[in-house]
Homo-oligomer: A and B are copies of this chain.
C-alpha cells in the first residue's frame, strides 16, 4: 500500500563531519571509541576521517593513527574523505578503507575556488591523476560526487543545469577511461535545499541517468533536513548520509553559519516508524549520540537521544493491556 522501499542504507559520516568541525583537537583514542561504538549499532558504513592537509584541518592530523587503530567488524565498512590525489594516496595506503571510486566536482565555482584555488576546468583536468591512483589500487571509478548542489553561501543559488553539467563532465572522464558511472552522490553542503528543490533536482538527475544509484548528503542547517530526506525518499533515493547526534555543527555552541548533517538516530527513528528498515539498533544509536556529546564536550542538536524513542511507551501500553485482559472477567 506504499511505494516506499523496504529498506534504506545509511552512511554514518559523524566522525568525519564532526571532529573536523570542533575547535579542539579530539584525542585519537576518543575518536576510535566513537567509531567502534558506531560499528556495533548495525550501521554498515562509517566515514571515519579525512585525508587532508593538517595545516588546513589540524583536527584530522591523526588520520593515519585513527586508521591504524580501526578494528575490523563483520558487516561494517570504513570509508573516508579526501579532496585530491595525494589524500587519496594516503587513504589507500592505509589499506583500511572501502574507496568509493569517486570523481568530485562541486556545483559551485566559488566554493571550488575557495577550497582548492582551482576553476571547474582545472578541476576536471585533475581527473586523470585521480583515476591513475584508483587504478593502481584496483578501485573501479564509478561515482560522481557533487557538493553544494542546491546552493552555496559563496556562490548563491545554483542553477540545476550546472549540477547536470558537473555530473556529465565526470561521466565523460569515467567513460573515457573504460568505466561506467554507477553512482551519484549529491550534497546539500550548506543547507540550502527545501523539499521542493530536492524533488525538482533529483527528478532531472534521475531523468538523465535513470540507472545510476543516487545517494544524498543533507545538512540540517535550517531545520529542513529530515523533510528533505523524505523528499529524496519520495524520489526513490535509498542511500542517505547522516551523522550521529547531528555531529558537524551545533548552533547552540556559538558556531557560526554551520550545522551538522541530519542526525542519524532521528533519521533512523523516522524511517523505522515509516516501516522502512535501516538495520540499525535505535537504542544503540541513541547511546552513540550521547557518547558523541561526551566526546566533543558539548550538546548536539539530535532530538531523539534527549527524549526517548516510542519503544518504552509501547511496551508499557502492551503490559497494561495484558494486565487488563488477565483481570477482566471471562466472556460469558
A residues with CB within 8 A of B: 2, 4, 151-157, 191-192, 194-197, 220-224, 226-227, 229-231, 251-252, 256-259, 263, 266, 269-270, 273-275, 299, 301-304, 306-310, 313-314, 316-318
How often does this chain occur in the complex, in copies? Answer: 2
From residue A92, how far is it (CB to closest CB) to chain B in Å? 36
Residue of B with least CB distance to A252 = B299
Q: Would A195 and B303 count as touching, CB distance under 8 A?
A: no
Which residue of B4, B194, B256, B274 is within 8 Å of A270 (Cβ)? B194
CB pair B269 A223 closer than 8 Å: yes
What residues on B are CB-neighbors of A222 within 8 Å?
266, 269-270, 303-304, 307, 309
Question: Would you give the shortest CB distance from A137 to chain B, in whole angstroms?
Answer: 38
A64: min CB distance to chain B, Å: 34
CA–CA, A259 and B308, complex, Å: 11
Q: How far apart sit A305 and B256, CA to CA, in the bound complex (Å)? A: 11
Contact of A269 among B224, B307, B310 (CB under 8 A): B224
Cα distance A269–B263 when bound, in Å?
A: 20
CA distance A4 to B196 in the complex (A): 9
CA distance A157 to B197 in the complex (A): 33
User: Which residue from B191, B195, B266 sits with its C-beta under 8 Å from A230?
Assistant: B195
Taken together as a complex, chains A and B put the C-alpha atoms of A270 and B266 apart, in Å, by: 19
